[in-house]
Structure 1
Amino acid sequence: MPEKKYRNLIVNAGHLLAGILIIVVVVLILQAALGYVQVKSTPPGWEIIRPPAEVSTLLIDNDTLWTGGKDGIILISRTNNSRLPLPDGAPPTSYVRQIFRDHTGSIWIGHDGGLVKFTHASWEIIAPGPGIPFTKVLSLAERKDGTMVVGTETDVFVNNGSGWVSLRPGGMPAIASADVLLAPRSGDLWVGCGAVMHGALYRLNGTSWHQYTVSDGLPHPAVRALTEVRDGSIWAATGYSRNGGAARYSDGVWMNLTRADGLAGESTRSVFEDTHGRIWFGSEYDGIAVHDTGTWKILTEKEGLAGYEVKTMTEDPDGVYWLGTNGGLTRISSDVVMG
């Protein structure tokens, strides 16, 4: 009798395991099918490209689009959207936070496991390394004098020619994380912290640091992206969950935009100016809003976005827009944006 009971338990456990496996397989098939349908149902002028499955940073390099995110580095051909092999000798990378090109043409890759530099078909691992005071890299920038700047979880480092030194001894306020860096034409250095509870925006002007919070005009303390537009003003994307907005800084004055003004969602994830002067505001949950001389256009997954969260944007020399989202890469022809 005990043996029969034992056999029944084994049989039941086997049935349960088989049922779980069937459910997992069905879910995977449905996910693949839904992704296929979404890719195939995009309207003319729109294309969804996967992999990459998620995109946090983009860089155009001639006919190659460098993408970075949770999948590491993935290269895409601008001409046919196919995936390209990485240059020989590419080191492994984890979550890629930013891909940046300096004035010499070298490409820098900041990721959770360090910092890599690609120059003239040659790779160099900068961090981790002997004497390097950081490992995880969140953001990158190049100052007006050509010095590289690295943002980490607790500090900002500059390369002074002989090594990487912290900006803290120069009076930099304590920061929760340097998630975003911007070095505009003015020569200032902006540092954005995306921490929800301890976020803020910092500006280094000469040797003086200035801190901006909600009380100074930011819609939300968490700063997610920064960009300089052609008139020299600075736009900050701020927010978390269903709160936030975009903020414009010019001549010491802040001006805010929210969903009531035309944004796709309150929490603003990215901001970008195209060659036509249109400002693109990516949201955390609601797609993207494109502003053109008083006119707004909202683009979502229904129109053809690969995902609901637009993390990064760029425009190639042919006027094609590339949008990195939580669900992959979107390519949009220029003639369909405000049509």
Structure 2
Amino acid sequence: MLQRVCGWRGLGGLALMLGAGVQAQAAPYTVVESFNVGDDVYVRSLAVEADAETLWVGTSSGLLEIGLAGYEVRNTFTRADGLANEYIFAIGIDSRGYKWFGTNAGGVSRYRDGEWQTFFPMHGLADYWVYVFDEQPNGDFWIGTWEGANRVDLDTLTFHTYLDELINEWVYGLAIDSEERVWFGTEGGVSMFDGETWEHWTHDDGLGSDNHRRLSVSPNTGLGTRDRHDLTVLEGGEETFNPNYIFAMHADPEDRIWAGTWGGGVSVYENGAWYNYTSADGLAGDLVYSILQAEDGAYWFGTNRGVSRFDGETWQTLDTGDGLLASHVYALAQTPDGDIWAASRRGVTRLGQAE
């Protein structure tokens, strides 16, 4: 890639690098530019605040607030500024404009208009390790943690905890469908709560493909122990297979439920049955960290081998050879201009449609 350096500064004095990619002639999407925040820094979460023209970037070293007009870094945030912990796993923006930041061992920080508030288990939070947020249309705000899920009443900030009801206590993915049912992706399968009753699914029900590459089977691989929250383990460790381990969830407008698995590809639940897409079908990698449905209806998947776009018929994959900063893509977001942002080790990459 061609590189050009701008004078921005990132977290802890790290220089932000702007790399302009050489565009492929035939590809529908290509790498436009990358923002490098440091070789040993992981970007684990992204969120777009469209009204404020802001991209929030959660890293292993703190938080970046990037203006979408010119992609300037407006602010950086660390513990000194009010964050509970500088390792940001998840970012959620609620209907009242509060930004919620889920951290590694630090609980949750909430931010709006320059004011910070922190929530710990003593306040009702299920655990200090927080992985995902989502909000129901009725205003209930959900939090997925390492020890169950919370439903938060935003009026009273009352935390209700769900633990024994789940198929597994480690909750990494959340999705809410059009009937306001809440879907939980856990380390032991998928659970669904309709407000009264629970339903559960595992690999025995069709969740996750029987991996065609015959990877070694692991009952608990990845983020499920505290010493494995270090993403260097994910990127450098042996590639294993656990189709019950769900990293990401998405409910599409047709109420199909998409689940990103550990080694079993992407699972889709429709009409009472699961079916699966893997690298044999065109998916970049079978470990799926993130799922995004773009404004044009296409699905994007962040995997351990790059990012894939699927329009229902055809696949396109981009990896480091195309200009991504790293192969493992942990989060995806779409900005109002239609561009896709991919988060990885070292920074974020902007993908745009080829002319």
The normalised TM-score by structure 2 is 0.75
- Give the distance between the partners of 2:77 and 2:142, measured in 1 at CA: 25
Q: Does 1:313 align with 2:313?
A: no
Q: Aligned with 1:172: secondary structure?
A: coil
Cα contact 1:96–1:110 (8 A) shared by 2: yes
Q: Percent identity?
A: 25
Q: Is the alpha carbon distance of 1:187 and 1:51 closer, same or farther for their aligned partners in structure 2, counting shifts above 3 Å? A: same
- Give the distance between the partners of 2:194 and 2:120, measured in 1 at CA: 28
Letter in 1 for 2:251: E
Quick one: which of 221, 229, 237 aligns to 2:244?
221
Q: Aligned with 2:280: secondary structure?
A: helix
**1:267-288 deviation line (CA, Å, top 9, x unaligned):** 222221111111112211x112
Offset at residue 214 of structure 1 (A): 0.4
Cα contact 2:125–2:150 (8 A) shared by 1: no
- Give the distance between the partners of 1:223 and 1:233, measured in 2 at CA: 16
Q: Is the alpha carbon distance of 1:71 and 1:87 closer, same or farther for their aligned partners in structure 2, counting shifts above 3 Å? A: closer
Offset at residue 226 of structure 1 (A): 0.8
Question: Whose strand fraction is larger, Structure 1's or Structure 2's?
Answer: 2
**1:146-205 deviation line (CA, Å, top 9, x unaligned):** 11122221211222446212224xx61352411222223221111111x3xxx2111112
- Give the distance between the partners of 2:302 and 2:124, measured in 1 at CA: 38
Please name the residue that 1:42 is paired with: 21
Q: Does 1:65 align with 2:55?
A: yes
Query: Across the two proteins, how many residue pairs are aligned to each other?
Result: 290
Letter in 2 for 1:136: W
Name the stretch that deviates more: 79-88 or 250-259.
79-88
Instruction: Specify every segment of 5 or more residues in structure 1 that has no aligned partner in the other structure, as ranges.
Output: 1-35
- Give the distance between the partners of 1:58 and 1:202, measured in 2 at CA: 25
Please name the residue that 1:206 is paired with: 195
Q: Does 1:235 align with 2:282?
A: no
Offset at residue 108 of structure 1 (A): 0.9
Offset at residue 132 of structure 1 (A): 5.0
Quick one: which of 104, 112, 127 aligns to 2:96?
104
Q: Is the alpha carbon distance of 1:250 and 1:63 closer, same or farther for their aligned partners in structure 2, counting shifts above 3 Å? A: same
Q: Is the alpha carbon distance of 1:295 and 1:132 closer, same or farther for their aligned partners in structure 2, counting shifts above 3 Å? A: closer
Q: Aligned with 2:266: secondary structure?
A: strand
Quick one: which of 85, 91, 110 aligns to 2:82?
91
Q: Is the alpha carbon distance of 1:94 and 1:129 closer, same or farther for their aligned partners in structure 2, counting shifts above 3 Å? A: farther
Please name the residue that 1:258 is paired with: 278
Name the stretch that deviates more: 111-120 or 212-221.
111-120
Please name the residue that 2:315 is paired with: 296
Q: Does 1:163 align with 2:163?
A: no
> Which has the higher Rg, Structure 1 or Structure 2?
1
Q: Aligned with 2:260: secondary structure?
A: strand
Name the stretch that deviates more: 80-89 or 92-101.
80-89
Q: Does 1:78 align with 2:68?
A: yes
Letter in 2 for 1:91: G
- Give the distance between the partners of 1:133 and 1:304, measured in 2 at CA: 39
Q: Does 1:283 align with 2:309?
A: no
Letter in 2 for 1:111: T
Q: Aligned with 2:130: secondary structure?
A: coil
- Give the distance between the partners of 1:162 and 1:278, measured in 2 at CA: 36
- Give the distance between the partners of 2:113 and 2:306, measured in 1 at CA: 37
- Give the distance between the partners of 2:157 and 2:64, measured in 1 at CA: 32
Cα contact 2:120–2:127 (8 A) shared by 1: yes
Letter in 2 for 1:288: V
**1:52-103 deviation line (CA, Å, top 9, x unaligned):** 6321111112322101131221222322233222479831323211110111
Offset at residue 43 of structure 1 (A): 1.6
Please name the residue that 1:146 is paired with: 139
Please name the residue that 1:7 is paired with: none
Q: Is the alpha carbon distance of 1:187 and 1:83 closer, same or farther for their aligned partners in structure 2, counting shifts above 3 Å? A: same
Q: Aligned with 1:302: secondary structure?
A: helix
Q: Aligned with 2:316: secondary structure?
A: strand
Letter in 2 for 1:257: Y
Offset at residue 41 of structure 1 (A): 6.6
- Give the distance between the partners of 1:86 and 1:311, measured in 2 at CA: 20
Offset at residue 130 of structure 1 (A): 4.9
The normalised TM-score by structure 1 is 0.78
Question: Whose helix fraction is larger, Structure 1's or Structure 2's?
Answer: 1
- Give the distance between the partners of 2:59 and 2:76, measured in 1 at CA: 15
Offset at residue 131 of structure 1 (A): 5.6
Offset at residue 293 of structure 1 (A): 3.9
